[in-house]
Amino acid sequence: MVCSNCGTEIADKALVCFRCGQATVAAVRKPAPKPSPFRGVLVFVAFLILAAAALFLGRAGTVDVPPAVRWAVMAVAVALLAWRFVARRR
């Protein structure tokens, strides 16, 4: 095989050229994509909303809070945790 960069004769099973260091095959792994610049802001806003909901529900003993509101806050919390779990596994 001939190196595509410098033209040196190299072994057929070589991964890189011994003279110039050029790879002879395509990379197996791709670099990780850059995270979105708004991702951190989105997580921060979601946590602020959950914190405000927690403060609101903390007063639930003194104020009558409809059960639908409690279930909605719990659903948002579970959805946020699931989203974070899935995002970390990628």
Does 43 lie in the same domain as 3? no
* Strand partners for 2: 9
Q: How far is CA 4 from CA 8, 16, 18, 54, in A?
A: 8, 11, 12, 62
- On average, the pLDDT of the chain sits at 79
Tell me which residue range forms the domain holding 64. Answer: 39-89
- CB contact set of 4 (below 8 Å; sequence gap of 6+): 22, 24
Q: What is the pTM of this model?
A: 0.37
Does 45 lie in the same domain as 81? yes
Q: How many structural domains is the chain composed of?
A: 2
Tell me the two tokens of residue 57: 């529900």
Does 76 lie in the same domain as 44? yes
Question: What are the per-10-residue average pLDDT scores of the chain (90 residues)?
Answer: 88 88 78 76 81 73 72 81 77
* Cα distance between the two ends of the chain: 37
Q: What is the pLDDT of residue 36?
A: 73
Does 81 lie in the same domain as 54? yes
